[in-house]
Chains A and B, each alone.
Chain A
Amino acid sequence: MNALPDRYDTADELVLRAPSDGRTLAQRLSKRYAARITGAFVVPGRKGSFAPLPEDLPPALATALRSRGIEQLYSHQAQAWAASQAGEHVAVVTPTASGKSLCYTLPVITAAMANRAKALYLFPTKALAQDQVAELLELNNAGELGVKAFTFDGDTPGDARQAIRLHGDIVVSNPDMLHQAILPHHTKWAQFFENLRYVVIDEVHTYRGVFGSHVANVIRRLKRVCAFYGVTPQFILCSATIGNPHEHAEALIEDAVTAITESGAPTGDQHVLLWNPPVVNPDLGLRASARSQTNRIARLAIKSGMKTLVFAQSRSMVEVLTKYLKDVFDHDPRKPPRIRAYRGGYLPKERRAAERAMRAGSIDGIVSTSALELGVDIGSLDVVVLNGYPGSVAATWQRFGRAGRRQQSALGVLVASSHPLDQYLVRHPEFFQGATPEHARIQPDQPLILLDHIRCAAFELPFNGDEMFGTEVATPWLEVLGEEGVLHREGERWEWIADSYPAIAVSLRSVADGNFVVVDRTDGRQTIIAEVDYSAAAVTLYEGAIHMIQSTPYQVERLDWEGRKAYVTRTQVDYYTDAIDYTRLKVLDCFDSSHAGAGEAHHGEVHVVRHVPGYKKIRFYSHENIGYGPVNLPDQELHTTAVWWQLPQAVLDAVFEQRQQALDGFLGAANALHLVATVAVMAEARDLQKSVGSGDGAWFVSADRQGRGQLRGTDGQPAALAADAPFTPTVYLYDAFPGGIGHSEPLFQRREDLIAQSVSLIERCDCRAGCPACVGPVLAADEHAAEARSADPQNEAAEAGTPKVLALRVLALLVAL
């Protein structure tokens, strides 16, 4: 039964005789491994579309460009130039390596040369900021343009800061520095702000969810400070391909934006293969590891003479894959290495060396984490292999986009891991083909985030009268801050009065500052290795929990709830832990409702009480439940927004013989809906939660030790429902942040789509009775029932009761008529 890795020699038959292109390799792989390839498609290449260098470009800049080999522009660069010269805010949405940076470099340098106008660049990471400055300096030196560009980040020494404030034409920083260091000290930057003409924000697709909502508020504060200095800078934003780049750019800066979405950069055909490792244990739905498959594909590609980039999800996986490839290609120490690793945690010098070696073409294979996903320049590549789904369709395309610069066909292969999300996506090739990647959502008016930034804004400049902050009148928020004692009201003016520096207490990466830090005590040292949101702490940091960081398991030894610390040590275990989560929801307010098949879908505000009585130990890969542990933590309460589905009692009674079956069906449906919804709103799985209960909070359902739905009362104790009691099971998907972060509204908009996708997810799952990739954990009893059924096709009763069937029955009732 084992279809474990083929032997080297059979694989090597596929090695291409002559160095070739992605198309040929894609064809050979498709032929040989047809069973593993769940999707194959081609994104056709494009001829380049060019435009001459604009005539209004300063001659010195044009000369500098020519000396760097740039004789003409791509059409999108010319469009960006025209729009910026017309005074519009611009959003450039083109693929990786399409020359995005020239779109902002040209107007910025021109303005700096003409009237010493200043520009602020914001990048999400320091490494990108440094790359950008290096690029600017090269261009500047090429033409002796006299434009000064500096990075300004946490590493900038104190004595250099003054010079940068006064003399920097282009200051390259990140949103956190703008928030904590620049805006609260804006008077020191007065000269800079008075001459600020452009604000460039690159990689705006990374500003979504909580982080994006914070950044939108930082931009509100930036505009407010700019207004004080009498300037209204133009924004130039750049984004990788997402579903709603134009809308997202406008949401971030709250102004009309001209979107440029057609890239003029030439590309070759892009061949894409979705690859699912072969099933090695059909009962458990267990597949061969993604690692073995990735290794095989990369080996083939490199042997065929193709420059190959492998993306791995963790640093340790980078090292493992690098070792495997080096074992094959770098066994002769006298020769220069052909394989390199690239990841965060290396010194900048090492990374620069790797980049140079890649550009020079002396490296044949590079293994990287997401560090290479954003704009770092490494030259031409032929093949990209993703070891596991990177978490979003947009990121998948961005990584694939690393290959194919040479205007010849390139190949991208996504190798699915055993993770449920991977398994879902690899079975839905249309998700990638449909060319509608995820939408980036932000919720700048999330009450806690808004309050934090009005607080910071009041520190920066007093509020006056009915001043607006973003789309809200600030007054009620100012009153709250006044009652808190940090603001003082005098007439129509609200002034900061407290002896504190509010920006320090506001992290752009979380909703409030109740975060837990994870402290590693391995080897007697105390190192902070991670931060966990307060709302996730109870389900991830209980004592005994296995906490995975970069796929290294750590065990929580002690949880200091009041001190917001979890002490962990590195460990070697073959299981992970899963909190048993008794969540009760009560609907407080319904914002919107609609029919959903025989039932109804709603969107509104809910009150959530979450109790974690213990946790399960689950073995890796097989997902067997191998033990339990107790948890003793206070209940969590949450007011948030949710979307939920309900079926009337009469319908359920008609379709299900027993109520137990309906409950099991709802649990399975919840699991599938949660999986599908997480993908739909580009959320982290923990930011969106699921629950099954009654509509009125009287009872809820959790999976018992057999994986069956167990009804529990408000006290968390198992309960039975009286035969005449109302029975309206409800499946909820709710936002895991107090006040919500805007996930549930788009989910309500896409409610029909979600149900349809959940149905197809379960129907297409390869498991027999149910598995974590569809309706939830493996249920041994149901496995046996399903086996009995396949052994004896007459035994219909056995299959009729599997969680898969029950979940599909619930979902079928909710499918729009």
Chain B
Amino acid sequence: MSPLHARLRQLRTQAGHPQLTSPLATARAGCGVATAKDHTLANTSLSPEVRRLLQRHAHLKRGPAYLASTDRDVPGIELSPGLRYTETCVDWLKPPVIIDAGFARVKPVHHQRLLHFDTETTGLAGGTGTRAFMIGAADWVDGRFRIRQLTITSMAAEAAMLRTFAAWVGDDSVLVSYNGKCYDAPLLATRYRLARLANPLLGLAHIDLLHPVRRHWKGQWENCRLATAERQLLGVVREDDLPGSEAPAAWLTYLRGGAAKNLRRVAAHNAQDLKSLAGVLLRMAGMV
């Protein structure tokens, strides 16, 4: 623990703040990385001289230690440093050429214009501090369902991911998502803005399936989540599915040098979400 940290921890406790938990510091102490020397400075005063001393001291320190894991395998090819790309084509449902999207109050649309997308993010807090670490997008190519996924393994690769995804979006693309109007699209808009890139989703038609699903089945199903919709409408039952709420931790663990296992499960979850988007869309279009 750095002296400044110890100092602040002490002050915060005195101010009635609950004890700080520092998973990294604890882990490091367990690994014997923490140095006893750190504590000798912990009770020094806040005079400017000491503050400067602390800063110099902190300057020389190395970054945090990682809980190293040997399982570091993230699937796909590396498009650029820190940006992994996977592409799979599946023989999935057979889409009609022109899809009647009237159920979502959208004009009939050629199936090749559809771009299904879903992001995996570092949390649900919203605002400028939440980011997508994975963007999945799927479309119909020659009658087959193409699933493409971008995953970043470093923060710095975010801009490259955003650029790559932007290239997949056409001027006449029709977006398909589940709660994307309120969640994924605004979040990506924020990320494009922070990366100083143009937002490719701006102004596109967008079929957000959550709303028509709610209109039809609210009150009949226990909830209107995508997992419920896919089970009710498509009979999909997921096995070994990583709950969406665990996605942030999966990525963070990998980012800090931990195992990639759960990150791979996030990708599988994301791919299934994309398939279910297409399935629910076709199912609802066919009902009209």
Contacts and interface: CB of A to CB of B under 8 A. Distances in A.
Given A184-B127, A490-B154, A588-B45, A537 B16 contact: yes
A533 to B, nearest CB: 8
Interface in B235-249: 248
Given A476-B4, A512-B16, A534-B15, A493 B189 contact: no
A27 interface: no
Interface string B233-263: 0000000000000001000100110000000
Interface stretch (B22-30, B85-93, B164-172, B224-232): B22-30
Given A483-B25, A639-B11, A739-B11, A184 B128 contact: yes
B2 A483 contact: yes
Contact of B16 (A473, A477, A535): A535
Nearest to B47: A591
Given A489-B63, A499-B248, A537-B16, A460 B129 contact: yes
Given A480-B4, A490-B154, A490-B155, A738 B15 contact: yes
Interface string A461-502: 110000000001101110110111100111101011111111
B179 interface: no
A493 B194 CA distance: 14
A501 B129 contact: yes
Contact of B15 (A490, A491, A512): A512
A376 interface: no
Given A187-B193, A460-B128, A501-B129, A495 B11 contact: no
Contacts of A185: 126-128
A475 B60 CA distance: 11
B14 interface: yes
A638 interface: yes
A253 to B, nearest CB: 22
A482 B154 contact: no
A490 B59 CA distance: 15
A222 to B, nearest CB: 14
A582 B17 CA distance: 23
Interface string B183-203: 000100110011000000000
B155 A184 contact: no
A57 to B, nearest CB: 36
A533 B15 CA distance: 8
Given A184-B128, A448-B12, A476 B24 contact: no
A535 B15 contact: yes
B17 to A, nearest CB: 5
Contacts of B193: 187, 190
Given A514-B17, A605-B46, A738-B11, A488 B155 contact: yes
B54 A476 contact: yes
B82 to A, nearest CB: 9
B219 interface: no
Contact of A479 (B18, B58, B124): B58
A564 B4 contact: no
Q: Select the residue from A190, A489, A501, A591 with max chain B CB neighbours within 10 A.
A: A501
B1 A459 contact: no
Given A484-B22, A497-B255, A461 B128 contact: yes
A5 interface: no
A321 interface: no
A459 B128 contact: yes
B15 A448 contact: yes
Contacts of A497: 122, 252, 255
Contacts of B156: 490-491, 493
A605 B34 CA distance: 28
A48 interface: no
A184 B4 contact: no
Nearest to A180: B127
Contacts of A477: 4
A498 B1 CA distance: 20
Interface in A617-637: 636-637
Contacts of B4: 476-477, 479-480
A499 B122 contact: yes
Interface in B1-53: 1-2, 4-5, 7-8, 10-12, 14-18, 20, 22-25, 43, 45-47, 51
A186 interface: yes
Interface in A706-742: 737-740
B248 A739 contact: no
Interface residues of B, number: 52
A498 B128 contact: no
Nearest to A499: B123
A63 interface: no
A604 B49 CA distance: 13
Given A488-B255, A534-B16, A186 B128 contact: yes
Interface string A728-763: 000000000111100000000000000000000000
A82 to B, nearest CB: 37
Contacts of B22: 483-485
Given A190-B193, A473-B55, A512-B17, A483 B125 contact: no
Nearest to A186: B128
B183 to A, nearest CB: 14
B61 interface: yes
Nearest to B125: A501
A476 B15 contact: no
Interface in A501-549: 501-502, 511-516, 533-535, 537
Contacts of B186: 188
A737 to B, nearest CB: 7
Nearest to B2: A479
Contacts of B25: 483
Given A489-B64, A738-B12, A501 B248 contact: no
Contacts of B122: 497-499
Given A497-B255, A499-B248, A514-B16, A485 B23 contact: yes
Contacts of A737: 15
A482 B8 contact: no
B272 interface: no
Nearest to B1: A483
A588 B156 CA distance: 45
Contacts of B130: 499
Nearest to B6: A480
B102 to A, nearest CB: 26
A637 B12 CA distance: 11
A588 B130 CA distance: 42
A231 interface: no
A184 B12 CA distance: 23
Contacts of B16: 512-516, 533-535, 537, 564
Contacts of A495: 155
A475 B127 contact: no
A350 interface: no
Q: Select the residue from B10, B16, B190 with max chain A CB neighbours within 10 A.
A: B16
A43 B189 CA distance: 59
Interface in B243-287: 248, 252, 255-256
A143 B153 CA distance: 57
Contacts of A641: 46
B279 to A, nearest CB: 29
A476 B2 contact: yes
Contacts of A740: 46
Nearest to A459: B129
7 closest Cβ pairs, A-B complex:
A514-B16, A499-B123, A534-B16, A512-B15, A459-B129, A589-B45, A738-B14
15 contacts: A185-B126, A188-B186, A459-B129, A477-B4, A479-B5, A482-B64, A483-B64, A497-B122, A497-B252, A513-B16, A513-B17, A516-B16, A535-B14, A535-B15, A641-B46
Interface of A: 184-188, 190, 447-448, 451, 458-462, 472-473, 475-477, 479-480, 482-485, 488-491, 493, 495-502, 511-516, 533-535, 537, 564, 588-589, 591, 604-605, 636-639, 641, 737-740
Given A190-B193, A514-B15, A639-B10, 7 more contacts: A188-B190, A447-B7, A483-B5, A497-B255, A512-B15, A588-B45, A737-B15
